[in-house]
Amino acid sequence: MQWYTGNTFYDSLLIAGFAYVVLIFVGSLFGTAAYGGRFGQGKRNKGIKLHAKTGWIIMELPGIIVFPVVFFMGSNADQAVPLFFLAIWMMHYTNRALITPLLMRVQPGTSSSFALNVVIAGWITLFLHGYFNAAYISELGSQYTIEWFSDPRFQIGLAIYAFGFILNIHSDYILRNLRSKNPSPDEPRYKIPFGGGFRFVTCPQYLGEILSFIGFAVMTWNLGAVFVMAMTIGNLVPRAIYTHRWFHKNFDNYPKERKAVIPFVL
């Protein structure tokens, strides 16, 4: 059966991957992943708990390992367009797996909030989308000749990706600076963030992440990237709504005009 690439293993795993997206999305309607101060202490946080920084790094490490390993096994791994996507991927996941967690400012006494089951769910996703994208980009996809750089899908996708990535790191920067470098235990743990994307939504960091993956899907034009995009939307839109409700419940003066994740809409 050929429904996408003709590679039976790849195509079957892709179907399983999309079924997993549906499962994660349905699960997120009943509660969000157990990590972080707001959600890391709830009833979903059972069993082993990791320090926030350790949890993030261990969970995201496959992002910087699986893609390059699979990529360099492909026959197009020395071509300019695939190498460009490798560079984008490595930049994205070096930020997510190493830079963001290492810069994170953790309130003393609140650090062990990262549930091991979140790490395992993260690994499944990262193994799948690392494989889907790397195998397609460096081996199975046929569109990535040098002309792809002048294709409107590549150019529009890259612009969306760049906007999303900058919004994400700028929003993470604003959040990080709400706490002092070495927060004391009696400092308020949460404050209302202002400026940048926070003028419009409660979770511009999530909006930036979602836009990055929409941009990546458009610029690579492949179903493996649609998988990452769907997973990110299915995970982060409900989490943004939970976070938005949390702010309204905990801060009487929370800006009324701010939406959760999509400016002026949601």
Nearest to 157 by CA among 213, 219, 209: 219
Tell me whether residue 52 or residue 134 sits nearer to ligand NAP (CB atom). 52
Tell me whether residue 96 or residue 136 sits nearer to ligand NAP (CB atom). 96
The least CB distance from residue 95 to ligand NAP, in Å, is 9
Are 14 and 224 in contact by the 8 Å Cβ rule? The answer is yes
The least CB distance from residue 165 to ligand NAP, in Å, is 10
The closest residue (CB) to ligand NAP is 37
Token representation of residue 50: 């990791």
Return d(Cα 266, Cα 247) in angstroms, integer: 15
Token representation of residue 221: 């034009």
Tell me whether residue 93 or residue 136 sits nearer to ligand NAP (CB atom). 93
The least CB distance from residue 194 to ligand NAP, in Å, is 10
Residues that bind ligand NAP (CB under 6 A): 36-38, 52, 100, 104, 107, 110, 168, 172, 175, 178-179, 190-191, 193, 205-206, 209, 232, 235-236
Report the DSSP beta bridge partners of residue 259: 201
| Residue type, position 238, single letter | P
The least CB distance from residue 236 to ligand NAP, in Å, is 6
Return d(Cα 137, Cα 140) in angstroms, integer: 7
Are 108 and 74 in contact by the 8 Å Cβ rule? The answer is no
Tell me whether residue 136 or residue 216 sits nearer to ligand NAP (CB atom). 216
